[in-house]
Structure 1
Amino acid sequence: MNRNDDKLERARQLLDGGEPTLEELGRAVALSPAHLQRRFRARFGLSPAEYLAQRKLGKLKSALREGSDVSAALYDAGYGSPSRVYEAGAAKLGMTPARYRAGGEGEELRWSTVDTALGTALVAASERGICMVELGAGERALEAKLRAEFPNAGLQRVDAGRDAFLAPRVRAVADALAGKKAKVEVDLLGTAFQKKVWDALMRIPQGETRSYAEVAAKLGAPNAARAVAGACARNRIAVLVPCHRVVRGDGSIGGYRWGLPLKRRLLQREGARLSVADAAVRNASAARGRA
């Protein structure tokens, strides 16, 4: 890690521990605010202010899902007043904090499934945007996952082709899953570390892979390979956040939320070279199947 990387990592640590302004952050790491802004975005994929907002939102979401009182969760997450989270956080949650904690109670979500190059996909959206993309073997299983995520929301299955809001978003997701260029807005909700991992994954070029340890080292946390694997497992946005591009240190493809056959297929489609170790694992699995 070079000197500038050390300064950027220090800036990130300061953001994890408090809410310094850009000027205060620059003074602390001996970089001008403008230079720090550019370097930080290049390293982490978002500005210091955006990083801080994501960290606070991730903490709020985790507390709400664990059943914390809404007011306590707001202040513990660092929001100075309830109005601040409704200004900055509600749009990211896709609903107010109280409704998110209540499993989406009072929300009306429209959803549809679409046949894609990777099988059936479910796309769900509130009036503010997409809140879930999930792959599965069939519509019933996908709907069950949606209901588990938002158990108290009003869910309306619609024909995506006849819904002016949902239709273009479903088409964009289908195009992305087919490997085509498509502009799909991704709302990453998680802890600050998970967000860092997902940002790093989206910077892995198509056709290339990284090991969990390499991703951890890139984030300045060389001992966090298992935490990187955990963040990959919690990715709810199939393919759009390409956790399939992360493999084990020996080159074998490791785990995948949507199944190893799909992960291997994605890597082959993107032209990634599968290792000798992965071939050995695949052949051993096939041999067990024939036995």
Structure 2
Amino acid sequence: MISDTQAWEAVQRKDRAFDGAFVTGVHSTGIYCRPSCPARMPHRKNVRFYATSADAEAAGLRACKRCSPNTQSAEEACVLAAIAAIRADGAKTLDQLSELTGYSPTHFQRLFKRTVGLSPSAFARALREERVREALEGGASVTDALYEAGYSAPSRFYSDTKGKLGMQASDWRDGGKGRTIYWSVVPTSLGEMLVAATEKGVCCLSFNEGEDALHRRFPKAELVAGGEEFRALFDQVVVVVEEPSLDSSHIPLDVKGTAFQQRCWEALRKIPAGETRSYGEQAAMLGNPKASRAVGSANGANNIAVLIPCHRVVPASGGVGGYAYGPEIKAELLKREGADQKELF
């Protein structure tokens, strides 16, 4: 659950991105609504916020007939129908999707992007990329994976993913085979830290782990201990870990993840130091407030602690929540960034 202040600001904006993240209970009328409900703005003193429709109904409220917060809206149904069509048949033109849903192409483009966070064409590309990676990780050949995912030629895949991934398609299939990863375990005030990098950037940062953990992540890569030529990069990483409120955007990363995971990690990097978000709020940043569970899984797959700051996501119910390297390290990182301790403990 986001804070009452954030929820009220979303209601004032009639922000569709928060639909599904909470419902607005208007106790003077006895109804509850979506944040984006087009009805007249209620007085703040009459409003309470609830995590789910069930919670609002348990408080004696009934669903608004105008925005139907407990059912799927016509717009949501159209977007889901378009997603199903893209998944079933591959890329479709905007005109085809418009005809399918009954909206004009321009209106549907805005509706789809507002709901999903991507345009229909970008969503189709992301879906193809994810299918390629899943096939490669399952052992398929690069060529077979590309064509089965709907690419007309390998060059289209490399064009679509240029600048997004450090690893090429064959690296996904082969667990890093042919790549060299330089690593070191360095002391920090938070404990021993494993930091590893390829020639493209940092690919792993974790606490209280060693070479075995790195080998599990990249089973076929060549692991080289020491990496003196990477010492300056490793030193930059240590500086940021010791003072995580510092800007780390200058440190290059070489990440491995699905299209959805990378969108989640990009969202994490947009959370300012000293601030926190709930999983629902992070999902809302991606344009899909109901995807909090998927967001949690994506955050858990993050191999690069601190630089991709999953420690800035905390439970809506309070406290710092879980962390791969222990809640104590997470709490200390948040403390160093100046996060509001009253809200966390």
TM-score strictly above 0.5: yes
Partner of 1:29: 106
In the alignment, the residues of structure 2 paired with residue 252 and residue 200 of structure 1 have an alpha-carbon distance, to the nearest angstrom, of 21
For the aligned residues, what is the CA RMSD? Answer: 3.9
User: Which amino acid counterpart does residue 251 of structure 2 have in structure 1?
Assistant: V
Partner of 1:133: 204
Distance 1:270 1:97, change over 3 A: same
Partner of 1:226: 293
Q: TM-score, normalised by structure 1?
A: 0.71
In the alignment, the residues of structure 2 paired with residue 69 and residue 170 of structure 1 have an alpha-carbon distance, to the nearest angstrom, of 35
Q: Percent identity?
A: 38
Distance 1:153 1:205, change over 3 A: closer
Distance 1:91 1:266, change over 3 A: same
In the alignment, the residues of structure 1 paired with residue 184 and residue 86 of structure 2 have an alpha-carbon distance, to the nearest angstrom, of 38
Say yes or no: does 1:216 pair with 2:283. Answer: yes
Equivalent runs, 1:94-243 vs 2, <5 Å: 94-127=166-199, 129-130=200-201, 132-137=203-208, 141-160=209-228, 163=229, 166-177=230-241, 178-179=243-244, 180-182=246-248, 183-243=250-310
User: Which amino acid counterpart does residue 105 of structure 2 have in structure 1?
Assistant: A
Unmatched segments (≥5 aa) in structure 2: 1-9, 18-35, 37-74, 99-103
Q: TM-score, normalised by structure 2?
A: 0.61
Which structure has the greater CA radius of gyration? 2
Partner of 1:282: none
3-state secondary structure, aligned to 2:210: helix
Unmatched segments (≥5 aa) in structure 1: 280-291
Contact 1:108 1:153 in 2 (8 A): yes
Contact 1:247 1:253 in 2 (8 A): yes
Partner of 2:41: none
Deviation of 1:50 after TM superposition, in Å, equals: 7.4
User: Which amino acid counterpart does residue 135 of structure 1 have in structure 2?
Assistant: S
- Judging by fraction of residues, say which structure has more helix: 1
In the alignment, the residues of structure 1 paired with residue 217 and residue 168 of structure 2 have an alpha-carbon distance, to the nearest angstrom, of 15
3-state secondary structure, aligned to 2:196: strand
